[in-house]
């Protein structure tokens, strides 16, 4: 283990595996993944060699947004299991040396949350309504939304309610789906309730929280209009909707709660922020008294280009260092096109100014699968060699592609409906994992009727099949993660770029480690006797090995 359960600051170098519970494994044949399914396959994660798992929301939820619409923050969705199952998962993961991070969704609840039902039943101006963001509409009869803010999922961010007496009434704010009303973080009730939620799960042994949309929550007071011409894409800079100064005190409050657990055998608990923000803004969240770490999405956004990646790596490291935090690296998650497919697209980089719909640009464009696979293998070698922590989204270790041909009627992501069927959304990266066998559902479930259909051509990408193939993605991931544990140069720390021309990323880490990724047409010659791992079998001539285009190598230096 790189991090025994008592090591403080384990998050500075941890490799965290994201479990999307609905799609990980179905233990009871209802076609929906569940907690027992995760427990049944913890051996896969231990053998893979990750340090922790992060579980996307597992709470009771109408599942309008894959569980990011929570109706009870202190219980488990019956589709996924029970609190006893959750406890069993935490303790069995710990027994295998795996930490467990769960998802906190503090920007909004589900409309099924009892407090939102109370708010609907109560009068305008009541303390029940004050827990959410209710406002009177504009216009003579309040028939227009209170301001011009757009929802990330399309349409207006406001929904009008019918008052208990049957008349058209106030409007409530929802940054995401209409079924996801935003909490009012100026309400003391909300603050206290989330303190309770944090303690509830920390007391059950959870090691940390991923904070969903950590740059929202607090809105500029007065809720001023956006400039008329501001597309949602421009909202990550100075915007009344995002990244408000009022987030800092909430983060400090949560940090103090996590630090309260410092004296427990597990040590202090941690937070990882999800916030699509430029580096300079993002790292403010990582000041020493605020959050521990965050996803660094600029790596995920970057096109497969040496210059772009070199810049983003250099800037990320400098920004994190300026606040004394460790960086993290992310290739994918449940919101983004899978790397194998993304890197096979003509344009592999993203304009990530839209916080939740970056996948949209990829739908319907051709993918060169072979090239995407080659690059995704090189990309993970780069990711795992960089200083800091790393995130692996379930299925990346199998090289799963995005499922780009889901039938319209199979789509679940609210983006599909809210965009008027123009954005197919994120279901393509949420398809259940293939575990074994030759036909769908590949050991994922005993029920062929899986919540998203599984492709017919995935027999080669099952865990079982890849385990037997030394050239598989799984074999590569295991090799890299084992080396990362064993090699003191890897994980948190520093790196130095080596001079290597425009088309090659070449850097060293101490003691005695070097990583080279070739993006160009000219082979890079290395000493074959120093190779630790390579993204593909390198062609060798005597003691010289050649690293070709879209290939990567780890070397003993």
List active site positions: 212, 274
Distances (CA, A) of 485 to 50, 493, 534: 9, 14, 17
Interface characters, 31-60, with Ca ion (x: CB under 5 A):
-x-x--------------------------
The one among 79, 182, 212, 397 contacting ligand GLC by CB under 6 A: 212
Tell me the number of residues near ligand GLC by CB under 6 A: 11
Distances (CA, A) of 159 to 57, 146, 216, 228: 24, 10, 18, 20
The one among 26, 51, 182, 335 contacting ligand GLC by CB under 6 A: 335
Give the footprint of ligand GLC on residues 168-187 (CB under 6 A).
Answer: 176
Stretch that binds ligand GLC, among 61-69, 163-171, 183-191, 291-299 (CB under 6 A): 61-69
Q: Is 552 helix (H, G, I), strand (E, B) or coil?
A: strand
Shortest Cβ distance from residue 465 to Ca ion (Å)?
A: 23
The C-alpha atoms of residue 452 and residue 69 are separated, in whole angstroms, by 19
Does residue 299 interact with ligand GLC by CB under 6 A? Answer: no
The one of Ca ion, ligand GLC, none whose footprint includes residue 26, by CB under 5 to 8 A per kind, is Ca ion
Does residue 92 interact with Ca ion by CB under 5 A? Answer: no
Query: Nearest CA to 82 among 98, 59, 55?
Result: 59
Please say whether the dihedral angle defined by the alpha carbons of residues 522, 528, 530 and 531, taken in this order, is positive or negative. Answer: positive
Q: Which residue has the tokens 């001023």?
A: 224
Does residue 68 interact with ligand GLC by CB under 6 A? Answer: yes
Shortest Cβ distance from residue 438 to ligand GLC (Å)?
A: 32
What does the longest C-alpha to C-alpha distance in the chain come to?
85
- DSSP letter at 159 equals E
The one of Ca ion, ligand GLC, none whose footprint includes residue 32, by CB under 5 to 8 A per kind, is Ca ion
The one of ligand GLC, Ca ion, none whose footprint includes residue 65, by CB under 5 to 8 A per kind, is ligand GLC
Query: Nearest CA to 278 among 309, 240, 238?
Result: 238
Stretch that binds ligand GLC, among 64-72, 240-248, 339-347, 373-381 (CB under 6 A): 64-72
Q: Let me know: does 216 contact 235? Beta carbons within 8 Å.
A: no
Cis peptide before 78 (omega within 30 of 0): no
Does residue 396 interact with ligand GLC by CB under 6 A? Answer: no
Tell me the number of residues near Ca ion by CB under 5 A: 5
The one of Ca ion, ligand GLC, none whose footprint includes residue 130, by CB under 5 to 8 A per kind, is none
Shortest Cβ distance from residue 105 to ligand GLC (Å)?
A: 6
The C-alpha atoms of residue 160 and residue 64 are separated, in whole angstroms, by 19
Does residue 213 interact with ligand GLC by CB under 6 A? Answer: yes
Q: Let me know: does 381 contact 533? Beta carbons within 8 Å.
A: yes
Stretch that binds Ca ion, among 22-30, 360-368, 386-394, 499-507 (CB under 5 A): 22-30
Shortest Cβ distance from residue 434 to Ca ion (Å)?
A: 16
200 Cβ partners below 8 Å, 6+ apart?
73, 74
Shortest Cβ distance from residue 86 to ligand GLC (Å)?
A: 20
112 Cβ partners below 8 Å, 6+ apart?
61, 62, 69, 71, 179
Name residue 104's beta-bridge partners: 211
Stretch that binds Ca ion, among 30-38, 115-123, 311-319, 403-411 (CB under 5 A): 30-38
What secondary structure does DSSP assign to 533-549, as a single string?
A: EESSPPEEETTEEEE-T
Does residue 297 interact with ligand GLC by CB under 6 A? Answer: no
Give the footprint of ligand GLC on residues 350-389 (CB under 6 A).
Answer: 356
Name residue 102's beta-bridge partners: 55, 209
Q: Which residue has the tokens 């130095």?
A: 496
Interface with ligand GLC by CB under 6 A: which residues?
A: 65-66, 68, 105, 176, 212-213, 274, 334-335, 356
Interface with Ca ion by CB under 5 A: which residues?
A: 26, 28, 30, 32, 34
């Amino acid at each position: 283990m790189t991090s025994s359960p008592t090591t403080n600051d384990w998050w500075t170098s941890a490799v965290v595996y994201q479990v999307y519970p609905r799609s990980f494994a179905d233990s009871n044949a209802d076609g929906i993944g569940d907690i027992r399914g995760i427990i049944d396959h913890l051996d896969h994660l231990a053998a893979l060699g990750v340090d922790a798992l992060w579980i996307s929301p597992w709470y009771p939820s109408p599942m309008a947004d894959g569980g990011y619409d929570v109706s009870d923050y202190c219980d488990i969705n019956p589709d996924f299991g029970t609190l006893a199952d959750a406890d069993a998962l935490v303790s069995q993961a710990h027994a295998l040396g795996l930490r467990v991070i769960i998802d906190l969704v503090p920007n909004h609840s589900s409309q099924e949350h009892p407090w939102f039902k109370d708010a609907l039943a109560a009068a305008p101006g009541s303390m029940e309504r004050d827990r959410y963001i209710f406002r009177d509409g504009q216009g003579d009869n309040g028939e227009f939304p209170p301001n011009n803010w757009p929802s990330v999922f399309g349409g207006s961010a406001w929904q009008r309610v019918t008052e208990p007496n049957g008349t058209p009434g106030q409007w409530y704010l929802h940054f995401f789906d209409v079924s996801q009303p935003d909490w009012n973080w100026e309400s003391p009730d909300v603050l206290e309730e989330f303190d309770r939620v944090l303690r509830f799960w920390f007391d059950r042994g959870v090691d940390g929280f991923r904070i969903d949309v950590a740059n929202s929550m607090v809105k500029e007071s007065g809720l001023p209009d956006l400039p008329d011409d501001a597309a949602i894409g421009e909202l990550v800079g100075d915007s009344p909707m995002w990244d408000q100064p009022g987030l800092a005190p909430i983060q400090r409050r949560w940090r103090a709660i996590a630090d309260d657990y410092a004296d427990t055998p597990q040590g202090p608990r941690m937070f990882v922020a999800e916030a699509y923000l430029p580096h300079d803004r993002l790292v403010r969240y990582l000041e020493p008294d605020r959050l521990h770490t965050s996803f660094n999405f600029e790596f995920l956004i970057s096109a497969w280009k040496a210059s772009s990646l070199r810049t983003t790596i250099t800037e990320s490291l400098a920004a994190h260092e300026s606040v004394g935090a460790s960086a993290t690296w992310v290739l994918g998650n449940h919101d983004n096109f899978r790397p194998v497919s993304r890197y096979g697209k003509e344009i592999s980089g993203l304009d990530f100014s839209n916080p939740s719909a970056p996948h949209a640009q990829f739908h319907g464009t051709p993918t060169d699968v072979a090239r995407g696979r080659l690059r995704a293998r090189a990309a993970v070698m780069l990711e795992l060699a960089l200083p800091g922590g790393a995130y692996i989204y379930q299925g990346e270790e199998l090289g799963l592609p995005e499922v780009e041909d889901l039938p319209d009627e199979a789509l679940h992501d609210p983006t599909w409906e809210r965009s008027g069927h123009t954005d197919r959304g994120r279901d393509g990266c949420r398809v259940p994992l293939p575990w074994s066998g030759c036909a769908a559902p590949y050991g994922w479930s005993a029920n062929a009727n899986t919540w998203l259909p599984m492709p017919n051509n995935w027999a080669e990408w099952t865990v079982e099949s890849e385990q037997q193939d030394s050239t598989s993605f799984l074999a590569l991931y295991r090799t890299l993660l084992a080396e990362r544990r064993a090699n003191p140069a890897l994980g948190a720390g520093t790196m130095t770029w080596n001079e290597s021309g425009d088309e090659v990323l070449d850097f060293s880490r101490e003691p005695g480690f070097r990583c080279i990724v070739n993006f160009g047409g000219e082979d890079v010659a290395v000493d074959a006797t120093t190779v630790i791992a390579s993204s593909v079998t390198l062609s060798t001539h005597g003691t010289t090995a050649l690293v070709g285009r879209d290939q990567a190598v780890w070397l003993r230096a």
